[in-house]
């Protein structure tokens, strides 16, 4: 089956409404009968020949057709609303259903989407973490997502506050694709402050959810959402998380799906690093320090990048720039502290720091803080 039509979507909705049927049994039924129409037309003895279909389940399947009129009205209304918001409905049997997601044990039968999947999305990495990242976590997310974006690896995350939002924004900033998986309906943006980010991702990547329109972002939705994040990806990078954070669940789901898990190590005693350090300690995640570690483990070919696989052209620094660079590393330093360490006035420091930014050596952070790139 491929590119399902309106009636077939209704058939799938009818089957999904059958109590106790599950995705696995629907897949078994379609494998046996080749179409949803044939399933609903089959007799009880024939239905029971499909793997996992008992007498009571077969009887429920046969009785579900009485709800067709109500389901048809609901689907028709939903199609109209999805069309108006420039969205799409993709089924497990459509040609453009994500191939990586199709391979997991329990893929969603229907996906509501905004934006278009591309063949390059087969090379996707999930980047997830806490909603309350430290400055270290923010810097590492930007660094690794930037490096992955240079390699044109699609970034997958969950549009949540914190690490997720930083991952999406960094991918877009680097003109890269990103996919956001929601725990709500396609028309319910959560958190609401991510409306602009939602629109940018829909324009330049894909918004994805398995939940019907108007579904609220209830807590019970997010564990199911997380299996899609990991299922869309070759591997999952955990930046920062506590031991009970949602990112830990995503890591566990990735392992169950046979996907690689990577983690950024953090300082001891920092709550946001407890989960990542635990994953590394238990051998459930590979310790990484950059995107190249991920690419190498997944045996993905590295594209030549100036300054990485291709040496940077020599950059001339004057005496004052050299003094400033000697004091900076990947830990942000406030301008007053930098001025004291270099014995330069604050205004002189700022002039030379601006020059270093143009040369691609220094990055400015909020609060007049600077770090080496």
- pLDDT at site 214: 93
State whether 324 and 278 are in the same domain: no
State whether 270 and 323 are in the same domain: no
The CATH number for 335's domain is 1.10.10.10
pLDDT, block means (10 residues), the chain with 373 residues? 65 85 83 87 90 90 86 85 90 88 91 94 96 95 96 96 97 97 96 96 96 93 95 97 94 96 94 96 96 91 53 72 88 90 90 86 87 84
State whether 64 and 158 are in the same domain: no
Helix (H, G, I), strand (E, B) or coil at 125: strand
Q: Does residue 314 fall inside a structural domain?
A: no
State whether 152 and 272 are in the same domain: yes
- pLDDT at site 178: 98
State whether 286 and 325 are in the same domain: no
**DSSP characters over 283-325:** TSSEE-SSHHHHHHHTTPPPPP-BTTTBPPPP----HHHHHHH
State whether 132 and 199 are in the same domain: yes
Q: Does residue 307 fall inside a structural domain?
A: no
- pLDDT at site 30: 84
- pLDDT at site 4: 55
State whether 159 and 261 are in the same domain: yes
- pLDDT at site 198: 97
Of 29, 49, 79, the last residue of a domain is 79
Q: Does residue 35 fall inside a structural domain?
A: yes
Q: How far is CA 317 from CA 272, 344, 353, in A?
A: 38, 16, 11
State whether 69 and 129 are in the same domain: no
- pLDDT at site 311: 47
Q: Does residue 205 fall inside a structural domain?
A: yes
Report pTM.
0.77
Which residue range forms the structural domain that includes residue 49? Answer: 1-79
The CATH number for 243's domain is 3.40.50.450
- pLDDT at site 306: 41
The CATH number for 2's domain is 1.10.150
Helix (H, G, I), strand (E, B) or coil at 238: strand
Tokens, residue 158? 């969950």
Between CA 225 and CA 22 the distance in angstroms is: 17
Looking at the structure of the chain, the number of domains it has is 3
- pLDDT at site 309: 45
| Count of CB atoms situated within 10 Å of the CB of 172 | 20
Of 243, 266, 297, the last residue of a domain is 297
Q: Does residue 221 fall inside a structural domain?
A: yes
């Amino acid at each position: 089956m491929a590119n399902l039509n309106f009636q077939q979507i209704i058939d799938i909705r009818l089957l999904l409404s059958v109590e106790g049927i599950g995705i696995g049994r629907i897949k078994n039924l379609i494998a046996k009968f080749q179409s949803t129409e044939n399933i609903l037309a089959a007799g009880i003895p024939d239905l029971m020949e499909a793997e996992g279909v008992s007498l009571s389940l077969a009887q429920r399947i046969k009785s579900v057709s009485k709800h067709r009129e109500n389901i048809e009205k609901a689907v028709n209304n939903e199609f109209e609303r999805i069309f108006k918001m420039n969205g799409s409905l993709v089924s497990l049997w459509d040609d453009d259903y994500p191939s990586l997601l199709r391979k997991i044990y329990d893929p969603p039968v229907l996906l509501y989407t905004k934006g278009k999947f591309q063949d390059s999305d087969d090379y996707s990495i999930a980047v997830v973490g806490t909603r309350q990242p430290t400055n270290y976590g923010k810097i590492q997310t930007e660094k690794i997502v930037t490096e992955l974006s240079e390699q044109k690896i699609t970034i997958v995350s969950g549009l949540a506050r914190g690490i997720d939002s930083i991952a999406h924004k960094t991918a877009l900033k680097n003109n890269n694709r990103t996919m956001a998986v929601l725990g709500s309906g396609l028309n319910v943006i959560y958190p609401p402050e991510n409306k602009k980010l939602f629109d940018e991702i829909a324009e330049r990547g894909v918004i994805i959810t398995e939940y019907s329109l108007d579904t609220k972002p209830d807590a019970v939705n997010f564990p199911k959402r997380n299996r899609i994040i990991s299922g869309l990806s070759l591997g999952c990078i955990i930046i920062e998380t506590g031991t009970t954070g949602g990112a830990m669940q995503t890591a566990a789901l990735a392992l169950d799906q046979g996907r690689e898990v990577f983690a950024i190590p953090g300082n001891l005693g920092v709550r946001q690093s407890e989960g990542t350090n635990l994953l590394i300690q238990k051998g459930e995640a590979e310790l990484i320090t950059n995107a190249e570690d991920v690419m190498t483990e997944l045996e993905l070919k590295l594209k030549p990048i100036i300054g990485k696989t291709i040496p940077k052209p020599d950059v001339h620094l004057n005496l004052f720039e050299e003094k400033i660079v000697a004091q900076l590393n990947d830990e942000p330093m406030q301008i007053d502290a930098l001025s004291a360490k270099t014995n330069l006035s604050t205004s002189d420091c700022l002039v030379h720091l601006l020059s270093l930014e143009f040369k691609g050596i220094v990055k400015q952070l909020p609060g007049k803080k600077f770090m080496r790139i």
